Amino acid sequence: MRYISTRGGAAPRDFESVLLAGLAEDGGLFLPETWPLLLPEDWRALHGLPYPDMAARVIARFTGDTFTESELLAMCRDAYAGFTHPAVAPLVQLDERRFALELFHGPTLAFKDFALQLLGRMFDAVLARRGERITIVGATSGDTGSAAIEACRDRANLDIVILHPVGRTSEVQRRQMTTVLSPNVKNIAVHGDFDTCQDLVKAMFNDAPFRAEMNLSAVNSINWARIAAQIPYYVAAALALGAPEREVAVAVPTGNFGNVFAAWAARRMGLPITELVIGSNRNDILARWLASNDMSARPVEPSLSPSMDIQVSSNFERLLFELLHRDPAATAAAMRAFRETGRMPVPDAAWRDATALFHGHAVSDEETVEEMRRLHAGGYLADPHTAAGTAASRAHPPADRAVPIIVAATAHPAKFPDAVEKATGMRPPLPPHMADLYGREERFSVLDNDLSAVEGAVRAHARRNAP
C-alpha cells in the first residue's frame, strides 16, 4: 500500500512514512494510491467479530507491511480495552429508521478516541523501532486536543503541543486538555478561532527548516492514519444493520470533514452506503456548498456546537481530489485560489457528482435546542453536535424507507452540560473517572496569532524534554 499527495508534489510513500509525516511536503494530504475493495464475502467474514478484531482487519488494508497482523491486532485490542461499553461503538435505536452510533465511550468521551488511542500506540511502535523522537502539533476546536493528549501523554518518544482558540471550547473540553500535567504535554490557547489555530499548524508544517528541526508530526485528521482508524466504526454499524445485503445511509455532524470522509472511504471500499448527510451549524460552508456550489469562507461564529465552528474544512481537499478524478494540479489550483480569495472554484460537474451522494443541512442554535428537546422527550439525551446530525438526517431522509439511517453520536452530553441543561433542564454529570475535573490544576500558555511566537513555544517545549 502506497500513498500519494492530493497536490502531486510529494513522492509516494508507505503507511509508516505517512503516519509520521502527517501533512505532505507540498501542503497536500495523503490518500491511498489505489483504494482497497472488499467483496460481499469479505464483509460477511467480519460479522460477529469483536470490535478490535474487526477494526484490525479493516485497518490492515491500509497499513501494508508497517505492522504484522499480530502487532496490529494487539494494538487495537489495547486501544479499545479502556472503552466503557462492551460493544465499543454501540447502536441505539432512536425511532423507526434512525440509529445513534455512540462514539463517546472512550476515555475523553468523543469520537476522536477511536483513532487517537490507536495512533498513540502506532507512534510508540514505529518510533521505538526507528530510535527516533517526534514533536506532534495539532489544532483543536474542542475534542481532538483532549483525545490526542490522552493518547500521547507520558509516551517516551514524543512531545505533543495542542493549540486551541481562547474561549471557543466548552469548559469541559478545555479542562480535559489543560489539566493533563505530563511533562511531554503542552497546551497553547491562541487568540482567534479554530481556523486560526489550524492555519498556524499548517504554517509550521510548511516551514521546512522548523519542520525538520522539530521532526514534526500531526494528529489532526490531516493525518491519513486518523481517517483509516475511523472507517471501522461505520463498518460495525452497517454490518449490525444487515450489510452487505442491506443498504444504509449515514448522517454525520461535521466541521473539518474528516469523520464524514471516513464514511465516504468505507463506501469507496464497497460498503453499501447509499447517502451521506452532513449536519452543520451556523458555520455552514459545507451545507452552502452542497446547496449551491458556494464554497466561500466567512468569519467563524461561536455556537452551541463548538467542535463544528469551522469555515476551512481541511479534509474536504481529499474529496475534492477524488471529484476532480485525482488530478493533483487541478486540486492544488483550487486550494491555492481558496487560500488567496476565500472562494474555492469547484467545477459544476464535480459539484453535481458530490450532490448525487451528499446532502447538507445547517442547524441554528435554536433548532439545535429544539432537536435536543425532541430527542430527550423520546428518551435519548444527546449533545448539541449529535442533535445537528439527527436534525440533518430528518431533513434529508432516504427515499427508500427500508434504508436505515446511522447517525454519528460524536460526543457525550456531559461534555456540553450548559447546552444540554438549556435544552432539557437536566445537567448531565461527568462519568466517575472525570468527576473531579473542575477541581484539577490547569496549565497552559496564552499566545497571539503569531507564528514566530508559537514556533518558539513549541521549540522550547521540545528542547526541554529532549533526551
Report cis status (omega within 30 of 0) of the bond before 244.
Answer: yes
- What distance in Å separates the CA atoms of residue 406 and residue 239, rounded to the nearest whole number? 11
Whole-angstrom CA distances from 349 to 114, 275, 278, 294, 305 are 35, 19, 20, 14, 32
Q: Supply the DSSP symbol for 363.
A: -
DSSP β-ladder status, 98-102 and 185-190: unpaired
Alpha carbons 164 and 293: distance in angstroms, whole number: 30
DSSP, residue by residue, 266-279: HHHTT--EEEEEEE
Task: Give the whole-angstrom CA distance, residue 50 versus residue 141.
Answer: 32
Q: How far is CA 42 from the centre of its chain?
A: 26
112 has catalytic annotation: yes
Instruction: Report CA-CA distances (Å) from 83 to 90, 212, 406, 410, 433.
Output: 11, 36, 21, 14, 12
Burial environment of residue 78 by CB neighbours within 10 A (0 to 12, 13 to 18, 19 or more)? middle
Backbone angles phi, psi at 446, to 5 degrees: -115, 125
Strand spans (E) along 120-215: 134-139, 158-165, 185-190
The three three-digit cell numbers of residue 55, written as one number: 477494526
β-pairing verdict for 216-218 and 405-409: unpaired
> What would the grid cell of residue 38 be?
472488499
Cα–Cα dist 141/169, whole Å: 6
Which one is catalytic: 112, 186, 202, 415? Answer: 112
> Hey, how many other C-beta atoms are within 10 angstroms of the C-beta on 466?
9
Cα angle at 358 between 391 and 390, to 5 degrees?
Answer: 15
Non-local (6+) Cβ contacts of 134 within 8 A are 20, 123, 127, 157, 158, 159, 215, 216, 217
Rounded to the nearest angstrom, the gap between the alpha carbon of residue 271 and the centroid of all alpha carbons in its chain is 20
Residues acting as catalytic residues: 112
